[in-house]
Amino acid sequence: MRFSRQREAVYNVVCSTKCHPDASYVYEQVRKVIPNISLGTVYRNLSELCEAGRLVRVSVEGSAERFDAYCAPHVHHVCKTCGAVTDLPMEKIAISHDIQGVDHYQVTFYGTCESCRNQN
């Protein structure tokens, strides 16, 4: 993958947050550095970074696709109250994926985050 100022700006935005941003968040943040970047360029670079294995796509029911710079195997928790997406450590989760032909998987748990639970 050749160096691209736009691609590195997109990558740096995703790396700089733990919130698992969607493309519109990335676009707004990158525009602070590269004001004339287009939303299409952001989408294209997010896609290229995922294909290169530098980012991971996180699918969330009823929400825009999110992105994660942490590419090691892990699972996600989505809060059904506030929509926050957080990483869960693999030590807490036992997953068996000894299925012939499977080369990767994505696991997402849905529930209520600690912050929302503490508000009630």
CATH code (residue 64): 1.10.10.10
pLDDT at site 80: 93
DSSP state of 92: G
Domain housing 56: 5-68
> Does the structure show a pLDDT above 90 at 105?
no
Number of domains in the chain: 2
Q: What is the mean pLDDT of residues 48-57?
A: 96
pLDDT at site 96: 63
For residues 57 and 84, membership in a common domain is answered with: no
For residues 37 and 82, membership in a common domain is answered with: no
Strand partners, 68: 56
Q: How far, in Å, are 1, 6, 35, 51, 52 from residue 40 at the CA level?
A: 19, 11, 14, 17, 18
For residues 23 and 56, membership in a common domain is answered with: yes
Residue 13: exposure state from Cβ atoms within 10 A (0-12, 13-18, ≥19): buried
Stronger pLDDT, 20 or 97, i.e. the higher one: 20
For the chain, what is the mean pLDDT? 90
> Does the structure show a pLDDT above 70 at 58?
yes
What is the domain-level CATH number for residue 110? 3.30.1490
For residues 30 and 62, membership in a common domain is answered with: yes
- For 43, phi then psi, to 5°, come to -60, -45
Do the Cβ atoms of 88 and 119 come closer than 8 Å?
no
pLDDT at site 104: 72
For residues 39 and 85, membership in a common domain is answered with: no
CA dihedral 16, 22, 24, 30 (to 10 degrees): 20
For residues 11 and 64, membership in a common domain is answered with: yes
Domain endpoint, select from 47, 68, 89: 68
